[in-house]
Chain A
Amino acid sequence: MKTVIIKYNAGNVQSVMYALDRIGAAYLWTDDPAEICAADRVIFPGVGEASTAMQYLRERGLDRLIPTLKQPVLGTCVGMQLMCRYSEENDTACMGIFEVDVKRFGQTPGLKVPQTGWNNIFDYKSDLTTGLPDNAYVYFNHSYAATLCDHTVATCDYVAPFSAMLQKDNFYAAQFHAEISGNAGQTIFENFLKV
């Protein structure tokens, strides 16, 4: 099995690599379209800011390549947001794989932004959540989130319910950081390598 982690400017992917190491999965970190297309699994991670990340993807044509991929693709955090239609973060048009928009958390007294820490996810409808306990706790660190939609396969509630995970055809995505989400996060990566 050949797994590729897409290389771009959205920050620190070291944690993702180490998470794959821990489950014994080999991977390649690259922005080479040929390598990405030839992979059995593609992971599209991301931390950082949406508009500069999209700019980088556009400059390399990756914004057009990623939506055409046929193998299972997993976007995490900002990676997930870039797979949506639009992000309010600096008014950014995204790749539109999932027909949903990404919005900033509204101001609610007592609820800090960014949401930082462990929150439970529920209403699972994904292959990736197989084996997870109900209301599994996973680690979030974000100020923007995709609203609920037809592609929502796991929900989280902060300010309002939002899409913790999305799934459409071969495209999977998680808003939380599965790579540092303890045993629950590890299960999700293991499931992704099995789908």
Chain B
Amino acid sequence: MLTKRIIPCLDVKDGRTVKGVNFVNLRDAGDAVELGAFYAEQGADELVFLDITATVEGRATLLELVRRVARTVNIPFTVGGGISSIADVSALLNAGADKVSINSAAVRNPDLINELALEFGSQCIVVAIDTKAPPAPDGGANNNKSKKAPIGGWGAFVHTHGGRKPTELRTVEWAKEVENRGAGEILLTSMDSDGTKNGFALELTAAISEAANIPVIASGGAGTMAHFYDVFTTGKADAGLAASIFHFKEIEIMALKSYLHERNVPMRMTR
């Protein structure tokens, strides 16, 4: 049976992880390669590296990092952050990345998704969608009896530039569009949940997962093992992504997978 995936996310800048990590058993916890290999050994199903480097020199460093990860790690990994052209994707795939994740550039130029899918195949094109619900508009009270934003209604708009810039795109509509344009997977981050440790955005994740017939990686809000259970059941996610709870060892990957396995969520329990 196809298993649900547990994906640690590593933010990297100039080739090094930026969020603090406190693994005493790592020689250099800032070394993204060593940390990635550690997670793979711990049973991670996939890795995501998000590059937050802005400079040209930093991009060259990223390629070298991708090469080192690909040489070392024997599970799939995705690279995202600042990717905006066929040339960017080609360089990353040739360096050994298995998939790339595009975000702002896809919103700016949706045709890029089609071009990348045609050139490299849908299976390696992940579209990251950062989404956020605006505060309820005053008129909303008249039109909506519930205070909760209707999914795909005035709630949950796509944001770009690391969630700083709102767009007019409704999240569910955009998810369907990226699928139709050839994306192979959606990495969905709820900006409202991100960093809260109060759980994933279940209703939104389920809505996206039902609207699009491509896998959905849920991101943002993981704080407990139960949150992962919820996102795989109620949220209908295909994969769950988290960063700090893994980096700070609040949750160990194999313990999480055992917890889910015992509750009949399909998990890869071997390495």
Contact = CB atoms under 8 A, between A and B. Distances in A.
Interface stretch (A30-38, A65-73, A79-87, A136-144): A136-144
26 contacts: A11-B120, A11-B121, A12-B94, A15-B96, A18-B71, A21-B71, A110-B236, A113-B214, A114-B122, A114-B215, A116-B185, A117-B238, A117-B239, A118-B268, A119-B1, A137-B268, A139-B76, A141-B124, A142-B123, A158-B2, A180-B74, A180-B75, A180-B76, A181-B74, A183-B271, A184-B270
Nearest to B117: A49
Given A113-B214, A117-B238, A118-B268, 12 more contacts: A15-B70, A18-B96, A21-B71, A117-B3, A117-B45, A119-B2, A119-B3, A120-B1, A136-B270, A180-B76, A181-B74, A183-B270
Contacts of B268: 118, 137
A186 interface: yes
B197 to A, nearest CB: 25
B95 interface: yes
Nearest to B94: A14
Contact of A19 (B74, B213, B238): B74
B93 interface: yes
Given A112-B238, A119-B1, A157-B1, A180 B214 contact: no
How would you classify the secondary structure of chain B's contact residues: helix, strand, loop or mixed?
Answer: loop
| Interface size band for A | 35 or more
Contact of B74 (A115, A141, A186): A186
Contacts of B76: 139, 141, 177, 180
B149 to A, nearest CB: 26
A182 interface: yes
Contacts of B123: 47, 114, 116, 141-143
A11 B238 CA distance: 25
A48 B74 contact: no
B36 interface: no
A47 B45 contact: no
The A interface is mostly helix, strand or loop, or mixed, namely mixed
B155 interface: no
Contacts of A117: 2-5, 45-46, 215, 238-239
Contacts, number: 110
B33 interface: no
B192 interface: no
4 shortest interchain CB distances as A-B pairs: A14-B96, A137-B268, A118-B268, A12-B93
A126 to B, nearest CB: 19
B125 to A, nearest CB: 11
B121 A49 contact: yes
B184 interface: yes
B204 to A, nearest CB: 17
Interface string B27-41: 000000000000010
